[in-house]
């Protein structure tokens, strides 16, 4: 999960988190339209260890639909980084 300074979040799947963040920030071609023009994005939450792409996509779908969960996860992750 990515977040920007305005409090927006973005959820997606990838096999290379660092490359994908660079894409979203416009450093490398290929970022999502949803993140363009919304400032700098940083990683606030990562889940890994899914047995396959389908399982990862299922979790992505769930996180994209539950905005309150996304907000709670982002807030908790940011709080942990500050401590």
Q: Where are the domains of the chain?
A: 2-82
What pLDDT, on the 0 to 100 scale, is given for residue 82? 59
Instruction: Give the distance from CA 59 to its chain's centroid.
Output: 12
d(CA 41, CA 25) in angstroms, rounded, equals 6
What pLDDT, on the 0 to 100 scale, is given for residue 50? 97
pLDDT in tens, 32-68: 888 988 999 999 999 999 999 999 999 999 999 998 9
Residue 20 has pLDDT above 90, yes or no: yes
Task: Tell me the pTM.
Answer: 0.84
Q: Which two tokens stand for residue 74?
A: 């982002």
By the 10 Å C-beta count (0-12 exposed, 13-18 middle, 19+ buried), 80 is classed as exposed
């Amino acid at each position: 999960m990515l977040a920007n300074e305005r409090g927006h979040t973005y959820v997606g799947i990838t096999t290379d988190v660092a490359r994908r963040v660079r894409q979203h920030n416009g450093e490398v071609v290929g970022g999502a339209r949803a993140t363009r023009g919304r400032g700098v994005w940083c990683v606030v939450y990562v889940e890994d260890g899914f047995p396959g792409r389908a399982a990862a996509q299922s979790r992505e779908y769930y996180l994209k639909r539950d905005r309150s969960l996304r907000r709670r996860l982002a807030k908790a992750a940011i709080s942990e980084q500050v401590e």
